[in-house]
Amino acid sequence: MPTILTSDFSQLSQKLELLKEVSPRVQIDIVDGKFSNNKTVSLESLKDLEIRPKLDLHLMVKEPEEWINRALEILPDRLIGQVEMMRDPLIFINQTVEAGMEAGIALDLETPVESIADEVYHLSDMVLLLGVKAGFGGQQFDQRVLSKIETVKAIVGDLVEIGVDGGIQEQNILACKKAGVDIFYIGSSFWQPENGLLDKEGVLKRYNDLTALIA
Protein backbone atom coordinates (compact mmCIF):
# COMPACT_ATOMS: atom_id res chain seq x y z
CA MET A 1 0.00 0.00 0.00
CA PRO A 2 1.45 3.41 -0.92
CA THR A 3 2.30 5.62 2.06
CA ILE A 4 2.52 9.41 2.12
CA LEU A 5 4.59 11.28 4.72
CA THR A 6 4.91 14.98 3.97
CA SER A 7 4.63 18.43 5.50
CA ASP A 8 3.58 19.88 2.14
CA PHE A 9 -0.18 19.80 1.53
CA SER A 10 0.23 20.46 -2.21
CA GLN A 11 2.58 17.48 -2.47
CA LEU A 12 0.04 15.34 -0.61
CA SER A 13 -2.68 16.39 -3.05
CA GLN A 14 -0.42 15.70 -6.04
CA LYS A 15 0.40 12.20 -4.85
CA LEU A 16 -3.25 11.39 -4.18
CA GLU A 17 -4.08 12.57 -7.69
CA LEU A 18 -1.46 10.19 -9.11
CA LEU A 19 -2.88 7.33 -7.06
CA LYS A 20 -6.51 8.00 -7.92
CA GLU A 21 -6.72 5.30 -10.60
CA VAL A 22 -3.83 3.20 -9.32
CA SER A 23 -4.34 2.16 -5.70
CA PRO A 24 -7.72 1.73 -3.97
CA ARG A 25 -6.17 2.44 -0.57
CA VAL A 26 -3.52 4.81 0.79
CA GLN A 27 -1.84 5.40 4.14
CA ILE A 28 -1.19 8.95 5.32
CA ASP A 29 1.25 9.47 8.18
CA ILE A 30 0.49 12.12 10.78
CA VAL A 31 3.46 13.21 12.93
CA ASP A 32 2.92 15.90 15.57
CA GLY A 33 6.53 16.80 16.38
CA LYS A 34 6.22 15.34 19.89
CA PHE A 35 6.54 11.62 19.26
CA SER A 36 9.27 12.26 16.70
CA ASN A 37 11.43 15.26 15.83
CA ASN A 38 9.48 15.78 12.64
CA LYS A 39 6.10 17.22 11.72
CA THR A 40 3.78 16.48 8.81
CA VAL A 41 0.60 18.02 7.47
CA SER A 42 -1.99 18.40 10.20
CA LEU A 43 -4.84 15.98 10.65
CA GLU A 44 -7.34 18.80 10.22
CA SER A 45 -5.88 19.78 6.84
CA LEU A 46 -7.02 16.43 5.41
CA LYS A 47 -10.59 17.74 5.52
CA ASP A 48 -9.66 19.97 2.57
CA LEU A 49 -8.62 17.08 0.32
CA GLU A 50 -10.60 16.87 -2.91
CA ILE A 51 -9.64 13.21 -3.43
CA ARG A 52 -10.91 10.77 -0.81
CA PRO A 53 -9.43 7.27 -1.17
CA LYS A 54 -9.90 4.49 1.32
CA LEU A 55 -7.57 5.61 4.01
CA ASP A 56 -5.30 4.30 6.73
CA LEU A 57 -4.18 7.01 9.15
CA HIS A 58 -0.97 6.30 11.03
CA LEU A 59 -0.84 8.50 14.13
CA MET A 60 2.71 9.13 15.32
CA VAL A 61 1.46 11.51 17.96
CA LYS A 62 1.23 12.04 21.69
CA GLU A 63 -1.75 10.22 23.24
CA PRO A 64 -3.42 8.78 20.10
CA GLU A 65 -6.54 8.15 22.21
CA GLU A 66 -7.16 11.89 22.16
CA TRP A 67 -7.13 11.94 18.35
CA ILE A 68 -9.92 9.45 17.71
CA ASN A 69 -12.76 11.97 17.52
CA ARG A 70 -10.61 14.31 15.43
CA ALA A 71 -9.90 11.47 13.02
CA LEU A 72 -13.62 10.83 12.60
CA GLU A 73 -13.90 14.08 10.65
CA ILE A 74 -11.61 12.49 8.03
CA LEU A 75 -13.46 9.14 8.04
CA PRO A 76 -10.49 6.77 7.66
CA ASP A 77 -11.12 3.06 7.30
CA ARG A 78 -8.30 2.21 9.70
CA LEU A 79 -6.72 4.21 12.51
CA ILE A 80 -3.25 3.12 13.62
CA GLY A 81 -1.60 4.54 16.74
CA GLN A 82 1.91 4.24 18.13
CA VAL A 83 1.61 2.13 21.25
CA GLU A 84 4.55 3.93 22.89
CA MET A 85 2.49 7.12 23.22
CA MET A 86 -0.73 5.52 24.52
CA ARG A 87 -1.86 5.69 28.12
CA ASP A 88 -3.80 2.46 27.58
CA PRO A 89 -3.76 0.55 24.25
CA LEU A 90 -7.04 -1.18 25.10
CA ILE A 91 -8.79 2.18 25.41
CA PHE A 92 -7.47 3.19 22.00
CA ILE A 93 -8.59 -0.07 20.42
CA ASN A 94 -12.04 -0.13 22.00
CA GLN A 95 -12.85 3.52 21.30
CA THR A 96 -11.61 3.30 17.71
CA VAL A 97 -13.75 0.24 17.00
CA GLU A 98 -16.75 1.82 18.73
CA ALA A 99 -16.30 4.83 16.44
CA GLY A 100 -16.64 2.56 13.40
CA MET A 101 -12.98 2.30 12.34
CA GLU A 102 -10.58 -0.61 12.31
CA ALA A 103 -7.99 -0.30 15.08
CA GLY A 104 -4.29 -0.85 14.54
CA ILE A 105 -1.39 -0.61 16.96
CA ALA A 106 2.11 0.24 15.76
CA LEU A 107 5.39 -0.69 17.41
CA ASP A 108 8.48 1.40 16.81
CA LEU A 109 11.68 -0.38 15.81
CA GLU A 110 13.14 -0.52 19.33
CA THR A 111 9.89 -1.48 21.10
CA PRO A 112 9.96 -5.15 22.19
CA VAL A 113 6.98 -7.25 21.18
CA GLU A 114 6.98 -8.72 24.70
CA SER A 115 6.40 -5.29 26.27
CA ILE A 116 2.77 -5.39 25.08
CA ALA A 117 0.22 -7.78 26.57
CA ASP A 118 -0.98 -10.54 24.24
CA GLU A 119 -4.56 -9.34 24.80
CA VAL A 120 -3.71 -6.09 23.00
CA TYR A 121 -2.53 -7.98 19.93
CA HIS A 122 -5.56 -10.27 19.94
CA LEU A 123 -8.03 -7.37 20.11
CA SER A 124 -6.39 -5.31 17.38
CA ASP A 125 -7.53 -5.48 13.78
CA MET A 126 -3.92 -5.17 12.69
CA VAL A 127 -0.44 -4.85 14.14
CA LEU A 128 2.04 -2.59 12.36
CA LEU A 129 5.75 -3.18 12.92
CA LEU A 130 8.20 -0.45 11.97
CA GLY A 131 11.30 -1.51 10.05
CA VAL A 132 12.89 1.89 10.76
CA LYS A 133 12.73 4.51 13.48
CA ALA A 134 9.25 6.02 13.23
CA GLY A 135 8.69 9.54 11.95
CA PHE A 136 11.01 9.94 8.96
CA GLY A 137 11.01 8.59 5.42
CA GLY A 138 13.97 7.37 3.37
CA GLN A 139 15.61 5.23 6.06
CA GLN A 140 17.25 1.86 5.50
CA PHE A 141 15.30 -1.26 6.43
CA ASP A 142 16.46 -2.84 9.70
CA GLN A 143 16.57 -6.65 9.59
CA ARG A 144 15.76 -6.85 13.32
CA VAL A 145 12.09 -6.33 12.53
CA LEU A 146 11.90 -9.77 10.89
CA SER A 147 12.14 -11.60 14.21
CA LYS A 148 9.52 -9.25 15.65
CA ILE A 149 7.18 -10.11 12.79
CA GLU A 150 7.66 -13.81 13.50
CA THR A 151 6.97 -13.29 17.21
CA VAL A 152 3.74 -11.38 16.57
CA LYS A 153 2.69 -14.00 14.02
CA ALA A 154 3.13 -16.69 16.67
CA ILE A 155 0.87 -14.71 19.00
CA VAL A 156 -1.98 -13.83 16.61
CA GLY A 157 -1.80 -16.55 13.95
CA ASP A 158 -4.09 -15.72 11.04
CA LEU A 159 -6.66 -13.89 13.19
CA VAL A 160 -5.00 -10.45 13.06
CA GLU A 161 -3.33 -8.82 10.06
CA ILE A 162 0.34 -7.92 10.36
CA GLY A 163 1.78 -4.90 8.55
CA VAL A 164 5.32 -3.64 8.06
CA ASP A 165 6.34 -0.07 7.31
CA GLY A 166 9.71 1.59 6.74
CA GLY A 167 12.49 0.91 4.27
CA ILE A 168 10.40 -1.56 2.26
CA GLN A 169 11.94 -2.30 -1.14
CA GLU A 170 11.87 -5.15 -3.62
CA GLN A 171 14.83 -6.91 -2.02
CA ASN A 172 13.22 -7.26 1.42
CA ILE A 173 9.57 -7.83 0.55
CA LEU A 174 9.92 -11.60 0.20
CA ALA A 175 11.72 -11.93 3.55
CA CYS A 176 8.93 -9.95 5.25
CA LYS A 177 6.26 -12.03 3.55
CA LYS A 178 7.95 -15.24 4.68
CA ALA A 179 8.09 -13.92 8.26
CA GLY A 180 4.32 -13.38 8.25
CA VAL A 181 3.48 -9.94 6.83
CA ASP A 182 0.05 -9.40 5.26
CA ILE A 183 0.19 -5.65 4.49
CA PHE A 184 3.17 -3.76 3.09
CA TYR A 185 3.27 0.01 3.57
CA ILE A 186 5.70 1.44 1.03
CA GLY A 187 6.78 5.08 1.10
CA SER A 188 10.07 6.48 -0.18
CA SER A 189 10.90 3.63 -2.57
CA PHE A 190 7.42 3.88 -4.09
CA TRP A 191 7.66 7.61 -4.69
CA GLN A 192 11.24 7.68 -5.97
CA PRO A 193 10.88 9.31 -9.38
CA GLU A 194 12.42 7.78 -12.46
CA ASN A 195 14.49 10.18 -14.58
CA GLY A 196 13.54 12.97 -12.18
CA LEU A 197 9.87 12.71 -13.08
CA LEU A 198 6.96 11.62 -10.93
CA ASP A 199 4.12 10.71 -13.29
CA LYS A 200 1.11 8.43 -13.44
CA GLU A 201 2.76 5.90 -15.75
CA GLY A 202 5.74 5.49 -13.43
CA VAL A 203 3.53 5.23 -10.35
CA LEU A 204 1.29 2.66 -12.04
CA LYS A 205 4.27 0.55 -13.13
CA ARG A 206 5.81 0.63 -9.66
CA TYR A 207 2.48 -0.29 -8.06
CA ASN A 208 1.96 -3.21 -10.43
CA ASP A 209 5.53 -4.45 -9.95
CA LEU A 210 5.26 -4.34 -6.16
CA THR A 211 1.80 -5.92 -6.18
CA ALA A 212 3.17 -8.82 -8.24
CA LEU A 213 5.92 -9.36 -5.66
CA ILE A 214 3.54 -9.26 -2.71
CA ALA A 215 0.88 -11.53 -4.24
pLDDT in tens, 119-147: 999 999 999 999 998 877 778 999 999 99
pLDDT at 35: 83
Q: How far apart are CA 30 and CA 195, in angstroms?
A: 29
Q: Whole domain around residue 77: which residue ranges?
A: 3-214
Q: Of 151, 114, 150, 146, nearest to 130 (Cα)?
A: 146
Q: What is the average pLDDT score of the chain?
A: 92
Q: Is the pLDDT of residue 36 over 70?
A: yes
Q: How far apart are CA 195 and CA 207, in angstroms?
A: 17
The total number of structural domains that make up the chain = 1
Q: What Rg, from alpha-carbon coordinates, does the chain have?
A: 16
**Region of 61 on the Ramachandran plot (φ > 0 left; ψ -120 to 50 alpha; else beta):** beta
More confident residue, 192 or 86: 86
Q: How far apart are CA 8 and CA 144, in angstroms?
A: 31
Residues constituting the chain: 215
Sign of the Cα pseudo-torsion (93, 109, 169, 172, in order): negative
Which CATH number is 112's domain given?
3.20.20.70
Measure the N-to-C terminal CA separation of the chain; round to a whole number of Å. Answer: 12
More confident residue, 76 or 191: 76
pTM, 2 dp: 0.94
pLDDT in tens, 193-213: 655 557 888 888 888 988 898
pLDDT in tens, 157-169: 999 999 999 999 8
